[in-house]
Amino acid sequence: MALISRRTVIATGVSVAALGTVGYGLWPRMGGYLDEADRQRQLLADNPGLEDLVRMATLAANSHNTQPWLFRLAEGQVSILPDISRRTAVVDPDDHHLYISLGCAAESLVIAGAALGRSSAVAVSAGDAPQIDISLTTADPDGQELYQAIPLRQSTRSVYDGQPISTADMALLETAAREAGVSVQFFTEAADRDVILDYVIAGNSAQMDDPAWVAELRDWLRFSSTRALATGDGLFGACSGNPVLPEWMGGQMFKLFFTKEAENTKYRDQIRSSAGIAVFVGDRADPQHWIKVGRSFQRFALQATALGIRTAHLNMPIEVASLRPDFARWLGAPDARPDLVIRFGRAPAMPMSLRRPVSAVLA
Ligand SMILES: Cc1cc2nc3c(=O)[nH]c(=O)nc-3n(C[C@H](O)[C@H](O)[C@H](O)COP(=O)(O)O)c2cc1C
């Protein structure tokens, strides 16, 4: 996925500052958007109920912010099921991203439960459309650091500060991502990042040439805070550093400025300013392993957040099926299906994305 770049806006002769004034100034606190984002991201009180833990789970990363999950509650148990009505058939035809998203939600629920005195046993059913069953029992509270990072984690789609991450912090990131059945490769050398950049540009170019891919992305964009607040889902422009606009104007701007060249330039700046790139690879290409990848990634992203390190996705090399085998060969894993490409580094926070209320995601 990719959004209108600031550089494109500059190229039109309209300054970003001017657009920012139009974008943010006319809507104090973005029409209540920032207050709502803050409200959704409060940590829980002691002794939370299952619905409270579900709220923490829904703050997890998920593809296109479609929130493709349903939660079924029973005594001491939360089950997470796919919400097939929210799949993204073009970018994710085999529900790979969908199951990773469920894994991300499961991991946040487990971490929030642990911090508030509930230990979890996680079971994933077999088959093509598995569900995740999480049984919770009383235990001593554990793992405050990652829990407190849950409301602060975000996909930060901006240019980072270009500085390396310390060896000690890299070791913590590596440890956090450890999960049986998943391996993570870290690339911090400029030469490796430039090779990945070439794959990202090839993938982004292929996606931008596909009208169905562009139309699917467009469906999940939210240009105005009014629409973002009304749906509670999707990709709100401000979260990617784009101006806030009335929906009709955003649609016109998207048609005019969402170009392959501008997007590729943006990705070049983003990758070259990042401290490194992490590539997640599951041992097998099935929904059970995609859930594991999601759990591994969510822990990685929360540990990064706790250390003040930002993360963002660059999944084009694994989304475009024709590129994937070559990318896997470059990774030295020719028989694997690489699952996620994540850049990391330091940068200021962007506005947070919204979620639908818990009542909307209960099965
Ligand atoms: C499996 C998966 C794939 C994703 N792919 C992309 C991507 O290609 N580009 C991107 O900018 N964000 C990507 N994201 C990030 C989501 O868009 C993001 O998690 C969602 O909009 C919610 O925002 P948040 O992470 O800031 O809470 C992906 C997330 C997941 C879990």
**How do residues 262-275 score in pLDDT, each as one tens digit?**
999 999 999 999 99
Give Cβ neighbours of residue 59 (< 8 Å, ≥ 6 apart): 40, 41, 108, 150, 151, 153, 355
What are the backbone angles phi and psi of residue 332, rounded to the nearest 5°?
Answer: 85, 20
Band of residue 31 on the pLDDT scale cut at 50, 70, 90: confident
Q: What is the Å distance from ligand 1's center to 176 Cα? A: 19
Residue 11, pLDDT > 90, answer no
* CA pseudo-torsion sign 14, 253, 234, 25: positive
The 10s digit of each residue's pLDDT in 293-340 is: 999 999 999 999 999 999 999 999 999 999 999 999 999 999 999 999
Q: Are 23 and 240 in contact (CB under 8 A)?
A: no
Give the other-Cβ count within 10 Å of 44's Cβ: 18
pLDDT tens profile 172-198: 999 999 999 999 999 999 999 999 999
The residue whose CB lies within 8 Å of the most ligand 1 atoms, and thus the one to mutate among 64, 214, 233, 302, is 64
Nearest atom, ligand 1, residue 352 CA: 26
Q: Are 328 and 317 in contact (CB under 8 A)?
A: no
Instruction: Give the tens place of pLDDT for each residue, 227-248.
Output: 999 999 999 999 999 999 999 9
Confidence of residue 12 (pLDDT cuts 50, 70, 90): very low
Predicted TM-score (pTM) of this structure: 0.93
Expressed in angstroms and rounded, the spacing between residue 104 Cα and the centre of ligand 1 is 11
What would the pLDDT profile of 144-173 be if each residue is shown by its tens digit?
A: 999 999 999 999 999 999 999 999 999 999
Q: Kindly give the distance from the C-alpha atom of residue 311 to the centroid of ligand 1, in angstroms, as a whole number.
A: 10
Element (H, E) at 319: helix 316-319
What is the predicted pLDDT for the residue at 29? 63
What is the share, in percent, of the chain residues with pLDDT greater than 70?
A: 92
Q: What is the pLDDT of residue 6?
A: 30
Q: Is the CB of residue 168 less than 8 Å from the CB of residue 108?
A: no
pLDDT of residue 349: 97
Q: What is the pLDDT of residues 57-70, one digit of tens each?
A: 999 999 999 999 99
Identify the H or E element spanning 298: helix 287-306
Q: With 60 as the cut, is the pLDDT of residue 26 above it?
A: no
CA 323 to CA 240: how far, in whole Å? 26
Give the closest residue (by CA) to ligand 1 atom 6. 313
Taking CB atoms and a 6 Å cutoff, what residues make up the pocket around ligand 1?
A: 1, 61-65, 97, 100-101, 104, 154-155, 157, 235, 312-313, 315, 353
- Residue 97 Cα to ligand 1 midpoint, Å, equals 9
C-alpha to C-alpha distance for 204 and 214, rounded to whole angstroms: 11
Residue 17 binned pLDDT confidence (cut-offs 50, 70, 90)? very low
* 8 A C-beta contact, residue 245 and residue 224: yes
DSSP 8-state secondary structure symbol assigned to residue 132: E
Write the residue with the smallest CA distance to atom 19 of ligand 1. Answer: 61
